[in-house]
Structure 1
Amino acid sequence: MGSTLSTLSSALTKDSESADYNGSPSERDVDAVREYFLQFLPLELIDLVLDYAEYWPCLRVDTNKEIDALASRTISGEATWLYLISPFIPPREIKGVDSRHRRIRKVKFDMESNDQGWGGEPEHRGPFAQGKITLNVEFHTGTYNGSWSWFEAIIFRASASPCWLDLDSDPFNLGSSFNANDIKELFPEPIPNGWHIQSNVVASDTPRFHSVSWTEFPEESEDIHVDPTSQKGREGLGHELVQSLEPGDRVMLIAKAKFPNWENHVYSASIEIFYSV
């Protein structure tokens, strides 16, 4: 079934008039596949197949602009950069199609970054950072524990935020104009707002690539750390963001660094929002 969907998708997108094809099907592609399978299967089963295959349209934005979020360069000691912001979530109703709604299914973040390359607690650093030598390359790097260089996701809901706030001059250094309390006032809805995505490896100046996906369902892994009161955003609760998204919302990728000498060097990132129709 997966190969059939792939073949159909390739055939449809090959003739697509869209110039900004992002590797995911368009809404028109999904409708065409659904119509094709109606010859063989009931609609309820077709929709289950499409969801199982994650054959969903996608809103995507990416950039390779380099920034240095330096906590020591801020008065509050907390660097806050709006590094990337997604397109608007489309309207829920689909005009011209009976009984069909758009539904947000998954939000994916890709980030390439590193911290300042030194510092942190000794137990959180790798042997190289501690001046030790080992032949096992698996232990050359530090851990994510105790990292104060990270990424956070915030929902921008225009109806609840100041109309004068211009977020399209990205990357936008929020920390140069506002402190942490100001930012909570700028983005007051939904409540709560702000989820931890990913921390940098402690004391590593090597750029790392991280990919984080959130669905509408809580993660089931036993080693997921959950902390709803974390200073880095609600940890382990990314499904809340997916469930909270409404038409007209935008998802913001925030690069953060807190406390003296902590830094977040960002090289590239992307946001993908997948939805069913």
Structure 2
Amino acid sequence: MSLRIIPANIISRLQALGTGQSPDTPNEDEPAADTAPRHAGSRNENGHYDPSPIDVAVVRIMLAKATKLPVDVVDGIFELAEYWVRTTTAADYSGNALYVSSRSVQDRFLVRSLPIGFTSEHGGDLDLKGEPAPAKPLKSTVPANKLARMADYPLPKLQGPVRKVVFKFTSHDQGWSGETGSLYENSWTWFEAGLERLEDSEIAIEEVIEEKKEDAENGEPAPQEPQFQYQFPLIQSPKWTVCRNKRAHRDWQDHTITWACYDDVQADSDGSKALEENGRGRETGDGEFVRNLQLGDVVTLWAKARFPGWVNNILAASIDVYWAAT
């Protein structure tokens, strides 16, 4: 019989729950700074409690112990309850609205998610709104055991842990157009999703850093990386287009687009036509993008504009990623 060692931080969470405290309620008899559980979840803008990975592990252990249910049944309950970890990253341009146009920058990086499986406590040093990662071939993915060393809580063991990705943005186009058609038809300002994947060689560990230091001291030149040139045509991809702006609308529009792992809208179906009529990419409803996301992957959001006169004005943008912590 094999045993799984429960990490110490899960034990401390269990002890906190045993005192009758809720995950986000401090003990009034002690200073708040000392009693706030580390890795606790938080309440979102709607008052809903978003659990942390530790919360999920603790509740899973308690539910299994109290009910004697098989682990698979407990995991099914978590799925039905959507008891998932949510990470969110946002870019706010309300002080100075961002615009993307054919006259200047036609293809603008907006924001990236935290790596799948990691929370904001581990993403403080990441550049989530800066520059996009360089495009180059992926030599090798990061082994799960190396990723596990980067977090002090159990990482998801599922090969595809992500349940849904929610894109939110406030935007509008230039407000006029000579094009005709339905609300989103012939609209040439839009938003696209992107994917960044961790390269094994980019995850530094202490031994590798020491080797590089010794090479530098010995005067050995660092090997030159080959240069790669990728072409990203400025066209609306049916697979990556999150949403187009309404054509010739000057008022700010709020968009919320959800891609879920359980989506099953095929590209040649009537459902895909409905997606396209509502401004989405025709091939974005099959759930494939979400199901294929792996531990450590990063989702990105881009703003685009094509042809003279078209301007994509952006006030805010964010990415919410929900993943199963079991």
TM-score when scaled to structure 2? 0.58
- Answer whether contact 1:153 1:194 (CA < 8 A) is retained: no
Taking the aligned partners of 2:156 and 2:284, their CA distance within structure 1 comes to 34
User: Between Structure 1 and Structure 2, how many residues are aligned?
Assistant: 221
- Please state if 1:218 is matched with 2:266: no
Task: Determine which of 17, 23, 31 is the counterpart of 1:12.
Answer: 23
- Please state if 1:252 is matched with 2:308: no
Match of 1:168 in 2: none
Shift of 1:215: 1.3
- Please state if 1:44 is matched with 2:72: yes
Taking the aligned partners of 1:106 and 1:97, their CA distance within structure 2 comes to 20
Task: Determine which of 138, 159, 162 is the counterpart of 2:199.
Answer: 159
Taking the aligned partners of 1:255 and 1:32, their CA distance within structure 2 comes to 40
- Please state if 1:201 is matched with 2:246: yes
- Answer whether contact 1:155 1:193 (CA < 8 A) is retained: no
Local SS of the residue matching 1:272: strand
Match of 1:243 in 2: 291
Shift of the 183–156 alpha-carbon distance from structure 1 to 2, 3 Å rule, reads: farther
Structure 1, residues 151-174: CA drift from partner, whole Å, max 9, x if none? 1001012439x9xxxxxxxxxxxx
Taking the aligned partners of 2:320 and 2:24, their CA distance within structure 1 comes to 19
Taking the aligned partners of 1:88 and 1:202, their CA distance within structure 2 comes to 34
- Answer whether contact 1:195 1:234 (CA < 8 A) is retained: no
Q: Could you tell me the percent identity over the aligned residues?
A: 28
Shift of the 242–257 alpha-carbon distance from structure 1 to 2, 3 Å rule, reads: same
Larger radius of gyration: 2
Match of 2:167 in 1: 109
Match of 1:32 in 2: 58
Gapped regions of structure 2 (runs ≥ 5): 1-16, 27-36, 45-49, 118-142, 203-228
Structure 1 range deviating more: 93-102 or 257-266: 93-102
Shift of 1:122: 2.9
Shift of 1:240: 2.3
Please state which structure has a larger fraction of its residues in strand.
Answer: 1
Shift of the 19–183 alpha-carbon distance from structure 1 to 2, 3 Å rule, reads: farther
Paired residues for 1:5-154 under 5 Å: 11-15=22-26, 16-18=37-39, 21=42, 23=44, 24-38=50-64, 39-42=66-69, 43-65=71-93, 66-74=97-105, 79-90=106-117, 100-101=157-158, 103-124=161-182, 143-154=183-194
Shift of 1:48: 0.7
Shift of 1:104: 1.3
Local SS of the residue matching 1:223: helix
Match of 1:172 in 2: none
- Answer whether contact 1:82 1:253 (CA < 8 A) is retained: yes
Structure 1 range deviating more: 252-261 or 59-68: 59-68
Local SS of the residue matching 1:224: helix
Shift of the 154–98 alpha-carbon distance from structure 1 to 2, 3 Å rule, reads: closer
Structure 1, residues 98-136: CA drift from partner, whole Å, max 9, x if none? 994471111111111001100042334xxxxxxxxxxxx
TM-score when scaled to structure 1? 0.67
Shift of 1:273: 1.1
Taking the aligned partners of 1:207 and 1:154, their CA distance within structure 2 comes to 24
The answer to which structure, 1 or 2, has the higher relative contact order (CA under 8 A, 6+ apart) is 1
Shift of 1:218: 3.2
Give the letter for the 2:22 counterpart: A
